[in-house]
Each structure stands twice: as structure tokens, then as C-alpha cells.
Amino acid sequence: MEWKEFGNEVVKLLKLRTPPIGVHFSENDEIPDKAFVPSKYGLQMAVCQAIGFSRFTGRTIALRYEDFACPPAMVIYGLVDGDVEEILVKAEWIKHGSYDAKKLPKGKYKTFVFGDLTNMDLKPQAILIFGNPAQIGRLIQATTYHGGSVKAELTAKTASCGEALIPAINGEVTIAVPGAGDRVFAGLDEDEMIFSMPYEWMERIIEGLRNAGRGANVSYPVIPFLFFTPRFPKMYREVQKEFKRV
């Protein structure tokens, strides 16, 4: 299964509002053909904003140093020397410097590419899926269909660009609860969460989505159990006793 097929299948199985996002970080200064590059249009973007751009437009977007607008992300992605904890303290997100930010090696990556997985031409290294808690829960079930558990260190800070994405780039499956940046700059709804996974997990996730809970007749959306006689309030029951069949 290739990534475009995977993207379409996940959208179908989970009835997602937007397609999964493929992520490719390059050690070379390469830009995919037809990719949107913000700086060419006099713009800079936050990473969550760039991800949202791909989600809602279906286009591939590429960021280099000159395209970044978010200071914490620039530190997290190894583009500059800096201290994420110090930034968060100054912004009063944390009281003191005790935030363990997930980071990429300094200077390793030059280009950061995000695209709609269903039509992205560049092979992704990681995949982000945005959904409501029921959809994300189904993805957790698909992951644990193969055993184990999904581990997450949740702080609701740097969610899509850091908490979700860095583990996936490093080969781990995780989830994240979006914080302020994703809400303000990336257009996430209040009920949306993020599931992230390495590219290599595609076959396993599809197998899990198709099979987890199949013996209990569970899939998405979950069909409520409606095979019962409802019990109405006493007044309804008393009225019903007076009914005469016609």
C-alpha cells in the first residue's frame, strides 16, 4: 500500500473531515514541484498554520528557514539556537523552565514539507491524522490491535508541530491534544485531536481499522444499541394504560 491509497482508505473508514497530512523533512534544500512556498508571496507561517493550509486546500507546502514565523517551532526544528522553555515562561505558558520540549537535531533538516496525503507526490516519513475523540479512539484501537499501547506525553503545547510530529518522525505512534497555536492559526475545531504515526505503520493501521472489534460488530461510527423497550416516565405509562386500541 502506498501513501495515497492509505490516505483515501483512512478517510473512507473514519469518515474524516479533512485528509491525513504527510510529512517529509529533508536534509537537502529541495522543494517539491508545485509546492507552495510562503516566502515567495511575502509570507511567513507557523508550522501548525502550514499543516492547516495543506488540510484545507489539499496543496503541498514547503517551509525553509525564511518561511518560519513561530519562534518555538524554529528552536524545536533545529533551525536556531534557543530555549523553548524560556519562550514559554515569558509567554506565561509555564511558571518556570521545566518543560521538556521534543526537538530535532540542530541543523539536520533544511526543508519541511507538508501535504495532503491523498495527492502528495513526495514519500512521507510521518503522517498526521486530525479527528474527533471517537475517530482518534478508533485509531488507538487499530494500533493496539497488534498489542501494546499508545503512549503520549500531553502538555497541549506545540501540539501538531512538536508533541505529535517529533515522535512520529522518530518512529513512534502517539496522540496530542491541540493547544492555542493550532486553534488560533490552524483552524482546528474544539473537538479535534491529533493522531501521528510513522510511514511504516500504514499497513498495520489499516489492518487494525478493518479488524479491531470486528467480532463485536464495532467499527466507525459506532452503531448505538437500540434493541430494547424504553422505560418512559410514570405519567406516560399511566396515560398508556388508558389507551383503547382502535
pLDDT (tens digit per residue) in 6-49: 999 999 999 999 999 999 999 998 899 899 999 999 999 999 99
d(C-alpha 155, C-alpha 99), whole Å: 9
Domain ranges of the chain: 3-241
pLDDT in tens, 184-204: 899 899 999 999 999 999 999
pTM score of the predicted model:
0.92
pLDDT (tens, 9 = 90+) of the chain, 246 residues, equals 799 999 999 999 999 999 999 999 999 988 998 999 999 999 999 999 999 999 999 999 999 999 999 999 999 999 999 888 888 888 888 888 677 778 899 999 999 999 999 999 999 999 999 999 999 999 999 999 999 999 998 888 888 999 999 999 999 999 999 988 898 899 899 999 999 999 999 999 999 999 999 888 888 888 888 999 999 999 999 999 999 999
